[in-house]
Chain A
């Protein structure tokens, strides 16, 4: 392709600097030109587009009208631009200028607009757009010399396979599987290592605080509340980092647009965009990177709607809860029960998507029109900038809130300090709100308290249950080691995490949905506390209420308090209604 730069400058009346974004060519010249023109505003005289006699006359009349009506506006806006916008009937501008309330002015404006609409038989916005585009295409035709074929043979050949009628969808699913494997099997060992490392820091800070004679409650607040809270944020870093790197790669390479092309038919049927499929499927691993994944979508509507549906995707943190209860109550049918929960989540998402796109998101019209760009290799710089930007956003914008909330939860669990389990603030809250859950079949404070701590992270439901239902407190036995030796073990741990990550990538078995088995007499106590029906109702509630605190604050950081409020409302009412239906229909059918 060849562009006549000189000719383009003359046609537009402005400076034109050619650049190649991927290679950084011409950026210096561009900055230099910007600086030069900023310093000499009088010399900057771009050509004014002539819209033809009739429209120019109308613009003249309108300008006079505004000058008579309101001088302030003329000072505030470029007058030609303002006139064009008013002529188009741009509602946003009418509102912003307050002219929408001036009925006398609106009447006069209509008198100018009407004859134009009659002569052209089209709305003015389209007339002006046609003229603008006509000119733009004329200039392009004259100044740009293109070779016959721009899209490369390589792109055509890849698309023949990737967009194939039969292979298209399986290939897309295989790529998503690979992304998952990378995040969980490669990233997983690093998450575990960070978890261990935070434990290591906590342990030695606690030793240090002992040495200076700090009060015990203070020590626990620092170690469990604050250091634990920082850990809760950091553990997500490998996961978000890898998911974002993968998505950025798919986007930059050009494949993401193809994925949207292949999946759009399905997603469109419940009000979403083809690209929505990617953040949603990531949700099965973890809902937090899903939020950042919504950035692949172009419109605000699609991004918000997709984010609102993410919590229905049963993330891997919910699995330990399912495994525990399914194992205790459903024996050989456990697998089927767990499978049914995943399916239920998808069904609820589809129904919710249809409802939301016909109610709250009705007014905003979705647009799909999208380029299928030629395939290219994303540069390392592009990948690292975009991944780091999202990680930084998560750490700073969401991290601070998560830390504050962790401390709050610690307080709930431990105040009054040293009280027995059924006398803490948490138990108090559990007891106070448990009647709300009676119609769902599990109105016991133990079960409800576990749900409350589950807001931190779903897998915590299991640990809280274990603590509450265990008869006596088990003392942790700590080995005595020196700081140096401990540090050495951490470093060895990091290198073995790396080895494990690499090894995992070459094994077909995936550890994504492996749950840890825990033993203890508390399981027998849980068996006494639930029936199979109330357990299923409880699991449905665990599936559908609030994913976790980290999700909530990442959502707020990305979309603001309003969407967080909507999500909170939906995922408080929805699980209650669903569990109520499950429990009561089950009772009517005399199940359990």
Chain B
């Protein structure tokens, strides 16, 4: 499933980034690499962007960007 499909308070493990180019580089720079665990903290008041926790820090990204991140749900 995609990271954008996780709901607040749900956890996922990153499987793959399905894009290339500058956005991929930026995501990897921010620590979004396969194998990492992400936790969706909350959604912005108007429904987009989302606030996730990765490597113990908060990162915000748009849902359209989170669509490019393949995850598997972790209970």
Contact = CB atoms under 8 A, between A and B. Distances in A.
Contact of A265 (B17, B47, B57): B47
A257 B45 CA distance: 14
Interface string A260-300: 11101110100000100000000000000000000000000
Interface stretch (A13-21, A121-129, A314-322): A121-129
Interface string A337-367: 0000000000000000000000000000101
B36 to A, nearest CB: 8
Contacts of A150: 56-57
A228 B61 CA distance: 48
Interface in B15-59: 17, 20-28, 30, 33-34, 42, 44-49, 51, 53, 56-59
B27 A371 contact: no
Interface residues of A, number: 36
A368 B45 contact: no
B51 A264 contact: no
Contact of A257 (B34, B47, B56, B60): B60
Contact residue range for chain B? 20 to 34
Nearest to B59: A371
A371 B65 CA distance: 14
A165 B45 contact: yes
B62 interface: yes
A367 B59 contact: no
Interface string A2-32: 0000000000000000000000000000000
A369 B45 CA distance: 17
B56 A372 contact: no
B20 A125 contact: yes
B60 A372 contact: yes
Given A151-B57, A257-B60, A370-B59, A264 B44 contact: yes
B48 A133 contact: no
A274 B65 CA distance: 15
A166 interface: yes
Contacts of B56: 146, 148-151
A261 B59 contact: no
A265 B44 contact: yes
B30 A371 contact: yes
Contacts of A274: 49
Interface string A139-155: 00000001011110000
Contacts of A372: 51, 58-60
B48 A265 contact: yes
A297 to B, nearest CB: 15
Nearest to A134: B33
A168 interface: yes
> Looking at chain B's contact residues, is the secondary structure mostly helix, strand, loop, or mixed?
mixed
Contacts of A222: none
A165 B56 CA distance: 23
Contacts of B42: 163
A133 B28 CA distance: 7
A106 interface: no
A146 to B, nearest CB: 6
Contacts of B48: 264-265, 268
A566 interface: no
Contacts of B47: 265
Contacts of A368: 49, 60-62, 65
Given A151-B58, A168-B44, A126 B20 contact: yes
A82 B65 CA distance: 31
A367 B26 contact: yes
B45 A163 contact: yes
A33 interface: no
A164 interface: yes
B58 A264 contact: no
B1 to A, nearest CB: 20
Given A133-B33, A168-B44, A261 B28 contact: no
A137 interface: yes
B22 A261 contact: no
A176 interface: no
Nearest to B27: A369
A373 B47 CA distance: 21
B46 A369 contact: no
B22 A369 contact: no
Contacts of A365: 21-23
A165 to B, nearest CB: 5
Nearest to A168: B45
Given A129-B28, A262-B45, A368-B62, 4 more contacts: A163-B44, A261-B60, A262-B46, A367-B22
28 contacts: A125-B20, A126-B24, A130-B34, A133-B28, A137-B33, A148-B56, A149-B56, A150-B57, A151-B53, A163-B44, A168-B44, A257-B60, A262-B44, A262-B45, A265-B45, A265-B48, A268-B48, A274-B49, A365-B21, A367-B23, A367-B65, A368-B62, A369-B23, A369-B26, A369-B27, A369-B30, A371-B30, A371-B59
